[in-house]
Amino acid sequence: MAILFCWVGRGAAQEEVIKASEKTYHEPSGKINMITFGLGGMTPQGAFKRKHPDPIFQINLGYLRQIKAEKPLFGGMELGYGIMDQYSADIDFVVDGETETWDVTSTSQFLTLEFLGRYYLPLKIDQLEFFSEFNFGGNLFFTTTIFTPPNADDSSDTEWEKSDFSLKYGIGLGCNYPVTDNIYVHGRFSYIAGLSTSFYILKEENITIQESTIEAFDLQKSTTDIFKWDIGVTFAF
């Protein structure tokens, strides 16, 4: 397979060629599936940017399936993960009457779930193919604090801080370029609007730690609009 899609897409593994009236027709025997993996970033927008101006690293894993053979429309879902802020400190605790220095780390992070619709556009430059996307899903913002004792044989303790969930929706554009018959590199950017939710962000100054590194964070609330981009690999089968 030289490219993933032209205007009407690629057929599946085998094709039956029927010649009639000096024309050639191709009858596909299946639908295309795709697994995607991407690395990229998110740039907060609007009220979210005022709360958290720094870019956020994110990774994602998705699955797409062709809706109808020889039609350039796919549907699927994608999971994503990112870290907003992190803070570590050594804190002294009294354990069994003795003072121990524990490593404590708080991490503000999120999980995303998106349902995707992808349409391959009737536009191609050499082997570069373009697509548009629509997505709808949700963000789960959550923060954990991990307490690690000085003795490596002892297990760490994890505390789950406040978490919150919000809906989101967005549109995007991207492109594929073939590396082999069924492996492609892709690039993509999207604008995603997120509804208001609560999340922890790192304080800019005056951080004083007494009992836990969560004291270095402030609980904020705002809409969660972002500009998202990623590059990655697509496996088609």
pLDDT tens digits, one per residue of 5-22: 433 344 433 333 333 333
Mean pLDDT of 158-175: 95
Q: What pTM did the predictor assign?
A: 0.80
Q: Per-residue b/e over 147-168, b at no fewer than 16 CB within 10 Å? A: bbbeeeeeeeeeeebebbebeb
Q: How far apart are CA 121 and CA 2, in angstroms?
A: 17
Q: How confident is the model at residue 93 (pLDDT cuts 50, 70, 90)?
A: confident
- 59 forms beta bridges with 39, 81
Each residue's pLDDT tens digit, 65-75? 999 988 999 99
Note whether 201 and 83 are within 8 A (CB): no
